[in-house]
Amino acid sequence: MILPQHEQCSCRCIHQDRIDHAHEQALAPRENEQLAALFKAMGDPNRLRLLWALTGEEMCVCDLARFIGVTESAVSHQLRLLRQLHLVANRREGPVLYYRLDDAHVGELIHLALEHLREDK
Amino acid sequence: MILPQHEQCSCRCIHQDRIDHAHEQALAPRENEQLAALFKAMGDPNRLRLLWALTGEEMCVCDLARFIGVTESAVSHQLRLLRQLHLVANRREGPVLYYRLDDAHVGELIHLALEHLREDK
DNA sequence: TTATCATATGAATAAATGTTCAGATAATAA
DNA sequence: TTATTATCTGAACATTTATTCATATGATAA
């Protein structure tokens, strides 16, 4: 099979068997994108600070805004993202919404990554 | 302490004790940023596909480029990022660089996140 | 109802990001 | 040396993203 020139790889060191194997083992595209979205959501310094804070105790939007030092609007946008990805959940008490981590995995993920960070180097 | 108006939070539902506690427990800024950078690196669909492929066996730049369907230049840029964050490592064999996951944590992180993804919903 | 509080939303803007292109290395062989 | 292979790098461009501002919603109290 001859590829059009612009799609050709200039080198000739290709292990076709490994590429095939990688394709067979690969995650379904949809799942891969969801997984990437999850990591990306955790990959913002402010959002990560929010998640870490919520490993402690539940907090309302106003608290969280003060804590990370941005407007409530900004936190609200971020919390929506985290909510859509099932990283946080909330409960209403009158006009106040209290946010918490959605489940234990979130905290575990952070701890595991922290372990990786602290080990090497 | 009176904040300048533009820094004031309009609401009055503030749990100062929780904010203080969150500050005490918070990660050091530097560590928080490193951790976020790590998650962010894993938060790109192509980079995640690379990492997942490398949980299987080591592959050279050329293989990886073909696998995810971008130029070798693009993979090289991505691999540099992953290398800087100690997510992947490489070994040279003549002119060829073989990449592998840097340590077991990386695979564990992906598996844990996948578990989270597959559980709820 | 009206007024107020807590939060959410949409649009706009500035900053960050991923890929490509062109050219530069490093290793090997002739 | 020169030629070739595999990989890397810097600059540029298009896209995405996080925040802000202004406004809207939902809950509560008067």
pLDDT bin (cut points 50, 70, 90) of residue B13 is confident
What letter does residue A93 receive in the DSSP assignment? E
Residues of A in contact with B95 (CB under 8 A): 13
Question: Coil, strand or helix: which one is A59?
Answer: strand
pLDDT bin (cut points 50, 70, 90) of residue B118 is very high
> What is the rounded CA–CA span in Å between residue A35 and residue A41?
10
What is the average per-residue pLDDT within B95-112? 96
Give yes or no for a contact between A62 and A101, defined as CB atoms under 8 angstroms apart: no
> What is the rounded CA–CA span in Å between residue A87 and residue A100?
9
| Token pair for A35 | 């997984």
Residues of B in contact with A31 (CB under 8 A): 114, 117
For A35-77, where are the E strands, in sequence order?
Answer: 59-60
Each residue's pLDDT tens digit, A41-61: 999 999 999 999 999 999 999
Determine the distance between B63 (CA) and D14 (C1') in angstroms.
27
CATH architecture of the domain A14-119 equals Orthogonal Bundle (1.10)
Q: What is the pLDDT of residue A2?
A: 30
The model's pTM? 0.91
Q: Which of residues 58-117 of B touch A (CB under 8 A)?
A: 59-60, 62-63, 65-67, 72, 86, 95-96, 102-103, 105-106, 108-110, 112-117
Domain edges within chain A: 14-119
| Token pair for A67 | 């804590």
| Token pair for B84 | 């800087």
CATH (residue range B36-119): 1.10.10.10
Is the model more confident about B6 or about A62?
A62
Residues of A in contact with B109 (CB under 8 A): 109, 112-113, 116
Q: Tell me whether residues A57 and B102 touch, CB distance under 8 A.
A: no
Residue A93: closest C-alpha in chain B: B13
Per residue, the 3-state secondary structure of B27-43, as one string, reads: CCHHHHHHHHHHHHHHC
Each residue's pLDDT tens digit, A1-34: 233 333 344 556 689 999 999 999 999 999 999 9
Alpha carbons within 13 angstroms on the beta-carbon side of residue B107 total: 10
